[in-house]
Amino acid sequence: MNYQVLARKWRPHNFTEVVGQDHVVKSLVNALQHNRLHHAYLFTGTRGVGKTTIARILAKAINCENLQDFNPCGQCPVCRDLDEGRFLDLIEVDAASRTKVEDTRDLLDNAQYAPNQGRYKVYIIDEVHMLSGHSFNALLKTLEEPPAHVKFLLATTDPHKIPVTVLSRCLQFNLKRLLPAQIFSQMEFILQQEQIEFEAAALKLLSRAADGSMRDGLSLLDQAIVYGNGKVPLEEVRLMLGTVAFQPIDDILMALAQNDAPAILDKIDEIANLTPDFSDVLQQILQTLHRIALFQQIPSTIDDSFDTDMITDLSSQITPEDVQLFYQIGLIGQRDLDLAPDPRSGFEMVMLRMLTFKPTSIKQSTTTARPVKAQIQSSMPIISPAQPSTNRVASRTGSPINSSTPNWLEMIVAMKLTGLTKEFANNCVLDTIDDKSCTLVIDPNYIRSSKAEESLHKALQLFLGTQIKLNIVAKKTTADTPAIQLSKEREHQQQSAIDTINSDRNVLALKEHFDARILPGTIEPIITKEE
């Protein structure tokens, strides 16, 4: 009957078993490898990410008699005693229960004496931010001049409450929140080792509910195993969490895209029978909208933590503009949900608000689904040889532009480029463009910047709404670049302004009667916003 919970049973015992904290593990292993151990370490991060666990592994590693690739061997007397909690040179304290200065002084009185079993005497102080000001002062003296055989390993969820005098004497490591995929993989491994049946969809729900904490995730997994009578099925986990799977979210968003209010209310009625947390349902909708927005702009960003088919399908049904509108309304609605008479009515009002403020002109296809040439033709005017050009720059260059080729200068303006990226684009000539690639020609003598090319590539993909490939060819060309076109346009405008002033009757009269003259460089053309 001595059951051990999964969070304790599967607690890592060496650096290799630690999940999701590679940046901390690498630093500690390198310190062990080069024998550059600091006398005080501070591990920070949210609950359940491995602060105390890593501190215990480090305490074991610096005292282990037979390190294996700078990992604790787990077999020597030191490792066994430390795992079983009877290693005399490891003093582990919960600062939340020992905040008085007397407790800290009693703790540190024995620091001057040599260790009994290992090479170092290790003090692990958990939730160190709970110590009183006087306790920190007592600890500070030992941190300033620690004995050579003493190591301090501090852990806290709130480093801002620790005095800077203490922080400055510690080597600080910030542990990351774990990703749902990392928690899912660990749960899957544990259940396979425990030979417990499970559904992958159920583990995905649990890993998201863990909110970045491995310990919380394993505690939920323990609860799910009991609730599912020794198994972890999706339906049981959904009922246990009091939440809904993605299918209702899918249906609600699809009904929003189709402007179908009755379908939304019917789906809310179905969800209400599961006694859910409507704030959690709204949060799932926001997460899904976020993934849809990312997929519409950068399709490669989709990950396995979401239903790929669902995101792809919804991306083709909801326009990017509506996604942004729904997300903003949902974000404000989540903030105000507690102010509603009851959660269901508040959730219903958020959904109805999305329908009410939805634009009346609904586009039937999203940017990601539209052909590249169709986007270009709808985004800017196309100049045809058969039609007189209204663009003064293009008409004076003498380079014919057919109806299927866009004006590169107009594309630069539409993409709203700035800085070096705009300068680089203005020195290129558009050679070819289709649904898959765009080829630009640039003078071989022009000094190119990889950062500007990358920025132009991203702006072009964002403008066209597709993962188009950008090719830059360095060769001489007879066509005028946008920079040359703009220069010629400015020269023409300047000359036109000078001619207009010189032919003005008032100016001619002033020259004739008062011997007036026009100072060089004082005439500038007036540029209107349309130009």
pLDDT at 275 (0 to 100):
63
> Averaging pLDDT over each range in 11-20, 111-120, 136-145, 269-278, which range is the top one?
11-20
Domain boundary assignment for the chain: 6-174, 180-241, 246-356, 373-385+393-484
pLDDT at 527 (0 to 100):
64
Which of the two residues, 422 and 403, has the higher pLDDT score?
Answer: 422
- Lowest mean pLDDT of 182-191, 252-261, 351-360, name the range: 351-360
User: Is pLDDT above 80 for 416?
Assistant: yes
Q: What is the pLDDT of residues 212-239, one digit of tens each?
A: 899 999 999 999 999 998 899 988 888 8
- Lowest mean pLDDT of 31-40, 186-195, 272-281, name the range: 272-281
Q: What is the pLDDT of residues 128-155, one digit of tens each?
A: 888 888 888 888 888 888 888 999 999 9
Indicate the class that CATH gives domain 246-356. Answer: mainly alpha
- C-alpha pair distances (Å), 459 with each of 4, 125, 412, 469: 55, 51, 10, 12
Indicate the class that CATH gives domain 180-241. Answer: mainly alpha
Q: What is the pLDDT of residues 293-331, one digit of tens each?
A: 988 888 777 665 556 777 888 888 888 888 999 999 999
Q: What is the pLDDT of residues 267-276, one digit of tens each?
A: 888 888 766 6
Q: What is the CATH number of domain 373-385+393-484?
A: 3.30.300.150
What percentage of the chain exceeds 70 in pLDDT? 87
pLDDT band at 196 (very low <50, low <70, confident <90, very high): very high
- Three-state SS for 293-362 is HHHHHCHHHCCCCCCHHHHHHHHHHCCHHHHHHHHHHHHHHHHHHHHCCCHHHHHHHHHHHHHHCCCCCC
Q: What is the model's pTM?
A: 0.56
Could you tell me which residues come within 8 angstroms of residue 224 by beta carbon, excluding any fewer than 6 positions away? 202, 206, 232, 236, 237, 240
Q: b/e for 289-305, b at 16 or more Cβ within 10 A?
A: bebbbbbbeeeeebeee
| CATH 3.10.330.10 holds for 6-174 | no
Mean pLDDT of the chain: 82
Q: CB of 62 within 8 A of CB of 97? A: no
pLDDT at 192 (0 to 100):
93
pLDDT at 360 (0 to 100):
61
Tokens of 484: 């040359």
What percentage of the chain exceeds 90 in pLDDT? 19
